[in-house]
């Protein structure tokens, strides 16, 4: 089943970068990936750098996107950025429900579901993040937490909505900590996610790209990508280092 899914590597720059740093990083990625194949690559940059990403990446094999989107379409919502604005700058992807948004900005499952639909209404592909904390894992609640997060986005719009989305499994304890889930640990949660969806719609489940995120780097990417239900990576820290990000992309291209 995994043959029908291409590997996808997405960089999440978080609140990092500058015009000068981005130019160097994107230039190195474009040069390094010019003749690469067998995977999809993307970077999700801070809002102010979307125009720069669009200018530098148009015509390259790297897509770009944002890290958040408003649940609203337009209006008096100071500080918010809507999906139509992201489309204006050529975004393909938008991350929704990243654990940092859930924890630091109080985003709950219902809001994540509304953001997912707002993104899809504009033809953006939401990358919906799910994942358990260390305390939840230690208490044996990993599957329950991840399934609850998943059910919350399926319930309002139906499982078909996942046909136009990407899911990222990001155990919170592995994000930015240097601790990676082992390939087997990650695979077992990815398999649970796919099985949960397959019960409702086997085709949607078979086609869904499920990314792993949490301290992915060049040295551990290949072992993760060899797992049957791991379809790529959402990469934080290592996405800021051209050599590391290129190594992850190369592993994606070589892993099938």
Residues annotated as part of the active site: 98, 170
Burial 112-143 (b: 16+ CB within 10 A, else e): bbbbbbbbbebebbbbbbbbbbeebbeeeebe
Tell me if 252 contacts ligand PEP by CB under 6 A: no
By beta-carbon proximity to ligand PEP, the closer residue of 215 and 250 is: 215
Q: Which is nearer to ligand PEP, 8 or 235 (CB)?
A: 235
CB of 63 to ligand PEP, least distance (A): 17
* Residue at shortest CB range from ligand PEP: 236
Chosen residue from 181, 216, 227, 252 binding ligand PEP by CB under 6 A: 216
How many whole angstroms separate alpha carbon 8 and alpha carbon 252?
7
Identified binder of ligand PEP from the candidate list 22, 63, 209, 215, rule CB under 6 A? 215
Tell me, letter by letter, the H, E, C secondary structure of 104-163.
HCCCCHHHHHHHHHHHHHCCCEEEEEECCCHHHHHCCCHHHHHHHHHHHHHHHHCHHHHH
Of 125, 105, 109, 212, which Cα lies nearest the Cα of 168? Answer: 212
Region 225-244 residues binding ligand PEP, contact defined as CB under 6 A: 234-238
Which region holds residue 132: left if phi is over 0, alpha if psi is between -120 and 50, else beta?
Answer: beta
Which of 65, 214, 232, 253 touches ligand PEP (CB under 6 A)?
A: 214
- The verdict on 170 binding ligand PEP (CB under 6 A) reads yes
Q: Given the rule CB under 6 A, which of 76-84, 85-93, 168-176, 202-210 is the region that contacts ligand PEP?
A: 168-176
- Cβ proximity to ligand PEP, 197 vs 235, nearer residue: 235
Between the two ends of the chain, the Cα-to-Cα distance in Å is 12
Least Å from the CB of residue 116 to ligand PEP: 17
DSSP, res 15: S
Cβ nearer to ligand PEP, comparing 29 with 159 = 29
Which residue's CB is nearer to ligand PEP, number 153 or number 238? 238
Q: Which among 2, 1, 59 is positioned nearest to 252, based on CA atoms?
A: 2
Site for ligand PEP, rule CB under 6 A: 12, 170, 175-176, 213-216, 234-238
């Amino acid at each position: 089943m995994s043959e029908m899914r291409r590997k996808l590597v997405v960089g999440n720059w978080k609140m990092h970068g500058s015009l000068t740093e981005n130019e160097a990083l994107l230039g190195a990625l474009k040069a390094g990936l010019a003749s690469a194949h067998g995977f999809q690559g993307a970077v999700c940059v801070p809002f102010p750098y979307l125009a720069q990403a669009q200018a530098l990446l148009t015509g390259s094999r790297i897509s770009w996107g944002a890290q958040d989107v408003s649940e609203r379409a337009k209006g008096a919502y100071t500080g918010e950025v809507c999906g139509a604005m992201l489309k204006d700058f050529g975004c393909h992807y938008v991350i929704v429900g990243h654990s940092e948004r859930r924890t630091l900005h109080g985003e709950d499952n219902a809001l994540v579901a509304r953001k997912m639909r707002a993104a899809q209404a504009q033809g953006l592909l939401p990358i919906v993040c799910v994942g358990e904390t260390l305390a939840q894992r230690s208490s044996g609640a990993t599957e329950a937490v991840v399934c609850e997060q998943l059910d919350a986005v399926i319930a309002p719009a139906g499982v078909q909505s996942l046909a136009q989305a990407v899911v990222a499994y990001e155990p919170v304890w592995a994000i930015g900590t240097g601790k990676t889930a082992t390939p087997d640990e990650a695979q077992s949660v990815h398999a649970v996610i796919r099985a949960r969806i397959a019960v409702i719609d086997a085709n949607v489940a078979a086609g869904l790209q499920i990314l792993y995120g949490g301290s992915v780097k060049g040295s551990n990417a290949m072992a993760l990508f060899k797992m049957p239900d791991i379809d790529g990576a959402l990469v934080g820290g290592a996405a800021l280092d051209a050599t590391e990000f290129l190594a992850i992309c190369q592993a994606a291209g070589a892993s099938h």
